[in-house]
Structure 1
Amino acid sequence: MQTPQTDAQTDLLLSTAYNGKDRNAFLFGWTPQAELWNGRFAMIGFLAYLLWDLAGYSVARDVLHLIG
């Protein structure tokens, strides 16, 4: 008969289910963890650019103005 698992144990099992390592750990190299961090940083960058654009500064508009 199995003992009931706590939420912390369940979360640890789910986070390490892919390759036996914590999926949120920062590991160097081409790893699934790197793709997770890459996506997180991309979301932060997109949000930063969106806020920058809403503040009135637009890199895309300024570049197009210089070209045209």
Structure 2
Amino acid sequence: MDSTSTKQDAWFQDAAAAQIKGERMVRAELLNGRVAMLGFVIGVLTEALTGHGILSQITFGVLGLS
């Protein structure tokens, strides 16, 4: 192979690697957003069931108060 072909192959490999990384980042961010929404909904439901706000839930859990 000549140097032009080798450089072109390297460019294609780098472009493919960048595209794969980008697709993985998009999927990771989608998952992160979905987990954050789930955590928020669980916090709101817990607040509705217990009558304690999110901050008091965290404080009670740390301090062991009821």
Is the radius of gyration larger for structure 1 or structure 2? 2
Normalised to the residue count of structure 2, the TM-score between the two structures is 0.43
Bigger helix fraction: 2
